[in-house]
Amino acid sequence: MADPLLQVRNLVVEFPTRRGTLTAVDNISFDIAEGEVLGVVGESGAGKSLTGAAIIGLLEPPGQVGAGEILLEGRRIDNLPYEQMRRIRGKQIGAIFQDPLTSLNPLYSVGRQLTETIMTHTDMTPTKARERAIELLTEVGIPAPARRVDQYPHQFSGGMRQRVVIALALAVNPRLVVADEPTTALDVSIQAQIIALLKKLCRDHGTAVMLVTHDMGVIAETADRVAVMYAGRIAEIGPVREVIKNAKHPYTHGLMGSIPAVGHDAERLEQIPGSMPRLTDIPQGCAFNPRCPQAHGRCFRDRPEPLPVEDSRVACWLYDEANALSYEDAKRAVAAKEQVSEAQLEEQANV
């Protein structure tokens, strides 16, 4: 497989306001391979949902793609006219949103919504399409699908509705599904069911998934690779195990430490001080520098680009200087260096 399924190159999402342009997604690049599940995780306002919206071409105005390209199977899709993008959106990219209630039309039966999607993108006959709709509902685990196909969204419970939304997203076997917080609005027991379902279906169909969520737990269960976003930039991207068990970026490291876990008895959780900067005042250099325990001279000046560290890419100057392979290594190396030129660094920091 030469080309990855989806390539995002230097994507910038901007919001022009009367106080100047706000950059919500700031020059990010990543790939999604065929059949891969890429988790995109970050706190609210990190730009993760906007990245997803930009890929499916549903950025809400005044948001707009300011620069960069998005390529699906080697073909640019970020500059397509609306009508062409709409075709791609149904057929090649499916979408699952957080709130299953708003992504279904309350006036049409779920069967009608499914058959309409199928018939728009394929040349199936109405009868065939209906059969396929029932088949899809069976596949997403809706009991008595032949009866429920004619029911309306309000007759389904939250979990069942999200199943319908998944059926809708997978109706014409897209190559990629963008799922934006698909389980956030659901109860924990339903969450587990939906994650299991999504995982199984995408494995069976070979569909790639871009899974946008704030929940590391969901990522750990589902994703192959993770991109951790912070203030509109990718802090760290790599294999899920690597990111979760051996976080390299100071932010990811702090984030993992701040998640309480059953069986993990700590009097206090690790905490990252402060909160994510607002879009209006992202600091110069590394956006994480005001909260970073390791921030030093250069971090306040230059923005770090993602550097390869083992199988991951990490946007942090620690790894440029120390040539380290883990956060602990990097910390140690920097501490050693700091002792040598502490005064010098301080001076730079004050500049």
Partner 1 sequence: MSDVPGSALAEKAPARTDGRFGHAMLKVEGLKRYFDVSAPWLNRVLEKQPKQILKAVDGIDFEIARGETFGLVGESGCGKSTVARLIVGLYGPTDGSITLEGNNIAGLSRKEMAPMRRRLQMIFQDPYASLNPRWRVRDIIAEPIRAFNLTSGNTETAERVAELLTFVGLNPRDGEKFPHEFSGGQRQRISIARALASKPEFLVCDEPTSALDVSVQAQILNLMKDLQREFALTYLFISHNLAVVYHISDRVGVMYLGKLVEVAPSKTLFTTPRHPYTRMLLDTIPDLDMTGRERMPVGGEVPNPITPPPGCAFHPRCPFANDRCKSEAPQPIAVDGGGLVACHGVEEGRVPQGPILATPAKPDGLAASVHE
Partner 2 sequence: MADQVDKSQGIVSAPVPKSGFLDMMRRFFDSDVWHSFKSSPITIFAGVITLIYFILAIFGPWIAPHDPFDLAGLSLMDSLLPPAWMEYGEARFPLGTDDQGRDLLSAIIYGSRVSLFIGFASVILAMVMGIALGLISGFVGGAVDAFIMRAAEIQLSFPSILIALLINGIIIGYFKTHPEWQVDQVTLAYFVLVLSIGLSNWVQYARTVRGSTLVERNKEYVQAAHVIGIHPIMIMWRHILPNVLGPVLVIATIQLALAIITEATLSFLGVGVPPTEPSLGTLIRVGNDYLFSGEWWITIFPGAALAILVLAVNLLGDWLRDALNPKLR
d(CA 95, CA 168): 9
3-state SS, residue 202: helix
Which residue from 241, 257, 249, 226 is spatially nearest to 299, judged by alpha carbons? 249
Residue type, 305: E
What's the closest the beta carbon of residue 268 comes to partner 2, in angstroms? 10
281 binds partner 1 (CB under 8 A): no
Burial class (CB in 10 A: 0-12, 13-18, 19+), 253: buried
3-state SS, residue 279: helix
| 170, 121 Cβ separation under 8 angstroms | no
258 binds partner 2 (CB under 8 A): no
For residue 216, the partner it binds in partner 2, partner 1, none, with Cβ less than 5 to 8 A by kind, is partner 1
| 229, 51 Cβ separation under 8 angstroms | yes
For residue 281, the partner it binds in partner 2, partner 1, none, with Cβ less than 5 to 8 A by kind, is partner 2
- In this chain, which of 105, 155, 157, 344 binds partner 1, going by CB under 8 A? 157
Count of residues in contact with partner 2, rule CB under 8 A: 10
For residue 154, the partner it binds in partner 2, partner 1, none, with Cβ less than 5 to 8 A by kind, is none
What's the token pair of residue 215? 């929940």
CB nearer to partner 1: pick between 176 and 286: 286
Query: What would the DSSP string read from start to end of 263-284?
Result: T---SS-----S-PPPGGGPPS
For residue 221, the partner it binds in partner 1, partner 2, none, with Cβ less than 5 to 8 A by kind, is partner 1
CB nearer to partner 2: pick between 123 and 281: 281
193 binds partner 1 (CB under 8 A): yes
End-to-end CA separation in angstroms for the chain: 49
By CB under 8 A, the residues from 261 to 320 that bind partner 2 are 271, 273-275, 277-278, 281, 290-291
**Which residue ranges make up the site for partner 1 (CB under 8 A)?**
43-44, 157-160, 187-193, 196, 214-218, 220-221, 240-241, 244-245, 254-264, 266-273, 275-276
